[in-house]
Structure 1
């Protein structure tokens, strides 16, 4: 196998080189040609011809098999005998495990301890040796590289290698064969291997096709690299779309994306949840969040650019979803589609006030209604309303309520209101407190909450606590502390030493409205 260092300028493949390597990639010895499926309901709703590339139909339910197998076929006999190793939280691991089984090569996969059992079991099912180490991908990767040095394994990277990129690029061949009229192709971006491979292929064959990269807002390493002109390392990444939770774009993938991608767009977690629902309604398939990422970008881009009657395709990159994560998706998809609004409304505490309020809401479906007696004059209500006409309808509701004399606050985009406060309505302290509020994230695994509290310590009194396990890889906690002004410096210094991601939420409007004294 030719030793190619993708971070070196000594040997950079041209677009023609990549085209040749993609056309010669033997991925169909193990991978499938996946369908390009029409999304009839979504197409009618947004006024464009929308199709979905079903990479969830691969034997490992993701596109990662293509790149892993292509690189494995290029190993020398010595490398095959020594075995291979990788670090992965899921899809790359399964792709490499099946490739190793097919080629009869020993494989070791280092996975974070937070990896859902469904993914660990799938990797073991293909015969790979699984090593659980660390609480995130970076810790797993460091351990995998150490094992590679100790045992002489060949490290198979998840995205930043020409052979991996070429394998993923075979999706582009299928796209142009399945629909020669495509005008836009939307590709999810994590480390950039898929986006690099598809864009370089399409631009060699049909350069008029626009290729748009799509990133999660809280993991936008490619956008950060574009802004800086070179790859940069993000301080942290969100874990909801864990398949694209990459802190730094690859060096070779960035070079290709910078040259061949036409644009990049970011989407929120709520917009991803809405895309998961769209896919289910049209296909009855359940995509993982990173798998639905590109369709979320397609919808947002089509709206922003006012596209009409265009031929658009998105790649459903994977469907290895932790089933319990659907709880979160179900709660948030309506918000992502602008089909639900969340409002904080102040109503007078008098007989008939609720009825008057409901008359102003009209015949709309109320999705949530939370109230608790507060005082003799005013009551605070948390209300969810289903919307048929999106943001415009929500603005009409707010205007009607204000005209009726009801102070109202729109919480539809307030993350803390959606994650925590809606489940804590009415929880005010019985006495004045010098209280400050903080949110935390920590890796989910058995005993994680106990470890979090133990690490937090008992030096400061906890005055409020909310924790919800959404079935995701990371748990979220909202915590209030009794803190005098002279305690703030020592407290924040303590937080920085803990190693958890945290944020001061004391100035949150939702907190002040429903929870603060």
Structure 2
């Protein structure tokens, strides 16, 4: 039998979390409200302790362990946010913690997890491999596995986000939740639907790691053969049994978004919302950007975490700017003679495009002996301006490819 979760479980978790988890704020997103046609608020779990909602579920699970279980220690598997939540909860409760993380996990998440006192072991490249290793460690040592999403206490803890949303925005009509294994989405659905069954709840997955749509179609969890997304925090290959049963019953829809839209949403949240958000945390925002008319206001979008590697943030910002038509790489083949580069730069200046970087290539075997390939990175004001720049270069005889 799969354990279920009730709103009473969520309310009990809220009592247990008093003084532990922050009641994170709702912040209005007027830049999204204009598109939706009504109020849009961001539920800022990126401002939660340890940088994400995960402390809610991890502490709820661990505070209920017996003294004998606490003495055996805990083990977890995580790409970063659950690791930090478990490590922080363990340090607060005086429990030793071991965390299995994928090779290549974001360095700031690794450093923060260590900083909370957990022992880290690296294995594999995906959370599913880490889960297998964590379960084997639990079997061998007797440590208690703190699953990132597939346990009723975890789901109940995450559901406290839903209780806060109902208090902070009583007239909410739509709640949008980024989704990996499903613990956050399931918990919010339990909390909200018990009180306001009319509220539409939408889960959002990255297209490169979308296990829920196919699973919901057949009403049981189905594993993905492979995953590829920048949103590592929601890259989970198989829905959890506990959250899946709740989501199948309570959630109105699960949609998918691509990495380009996630990157664009992250840039807009940074630029317009003044919030640092990781790619997984921006998935809900990406869904609203994709199809604003599909979300009846007032809308609350859960921003689940802000633990992003600065190097990844640089790449995502550039990717997001490119997706928004504000940053382009232009490759131009032209005669290798004095004045060629100057003519190209003059054309770009006349089109009001800002040149960021220029590179020459002469050794490409595809080039003729008297040719040079110039790669120019330029800033533009948006898709229309980018198209104007390309059109001007074409009119002046430049052969341009974009990337």
Larger radius of gyration: 1
Write out per-residue CA displacement over residues 11-60 of structure 1, whole angstroms, 9 at most, x where no aligned residue.
553xxx52121112122241111101123445457754332111122221
Q: Secondary structure at the match of 1:85?
A: strand
Contact 1:298 1:312 in 2 (8 A): no
Task: Specify every segment of 5 or more residues in structure 2 that has no aligned partner in the other structure, as ranges.
Answer: none
Task: Name 2:209's counterpart in structure 1.
Answer: 219
Among candidates 224, 237, 259, match of residue 234 of structure 1: 224
Task: Name 1:22's counterpart in structure 2.
Answer: 10
Cα distance between partner residues in 2 of 1:347 and 1:48: 51
Write out per-residue CA displacement over residues 340-365 of structure 1, whole angstroms, 9 at most, x where no aligned residue.
34555566778779459827972344
The structure showing larger relative contact order (alpha-carbon pairs under 8 Å, at least 6 residues apart) is 2
Cα distance between partner residues in 2 of 1:190 and 1:307: 21
Task: Name 1:311's counterpart in structure 2.
Answer: 298
Q: Secondary structure at the match of 1:60?
A: helix
Write out per-residue CA displacement over residues 257-313 of structure 1, whole angstroms, 9 at most, x where no aligned residue.
2222222232233322222222222443322221222222222231xx3768x3222
Write out per-residue CA displacement over residues 415-449 of structure 1, whole angstroms, 9 at most, x where no aligned residue.
xx4xxxxxxxxxxxxxxxxxxxxxxxxxxxxxxxx
Contact 1:360 1:401 in 2 (8 A): no
Contact 2:206 2:229 in 1 (8 A): no
Contact 1:93 1:123 in 2 (8 A): yes
Task: Name 2:92's counterpart in structure 1.
Answer: 102
Alignment of 1:128-139 (within 5 A): 128-139=118-129
> What is the TM-score when the length of structure 1 is the normalising length?
0.68
Write out per-residue CA displacement over residues 360-385 of structure 1, whole angstroms, 9 at most, x where no aligned residue.
97234455555546437876554555
Structure 1 residue 163 and structure 2 residue 153: aligned?
A: yes
Among candidates 277, 282, 295, match of residue 287 of structure 1: 277
Structure 1 residue 36 and structure 2 residue 26: aligned?
A: yes
Cα distance between partner residues in 2 of 1:152 and 1:343: 58
Task: Name 2:248's counterpart in structure 1.
Answer: 258
Contact 1:30 1:102 in 2 (8 A): no
Cα distance between partner residues in 2 of 1:33 and 1:307: 25
Among candidates 253, 270, 278, match of residue 260 of structure 2: 270
> What is the TM-score when the length of structure 2 is the normalising length?
0.85
Q: C-alpha displacement at 1:106, in angstroms?
A: 2.9
Contact 2:288 2:295 in 1 (8 A): no
Cα distance between partner residues in 1 of 2:96 and 2:348: 68
Task: Name 2:105's counterpart in structure 1.
Answer: 115
Contact 2:348 2:393 in 1 (8 A): no
Structure 1 residue 388 and structure 2 residue 381: aligned?
A: yes
Q: Once superposed, what is the RMSD of the aligned Cα atoms?
A: 3.1
Q: C-alpha displacement at 1:63, in angstroms?
A: 0.3
Structure 1 residues 393 and 70, CA gap change in structure 2 (3 angstroms): same
In the comparison of the two structures, how many residue pairs are matched? 395
Q: Secondary structure at the match of 2:291?
A: helix
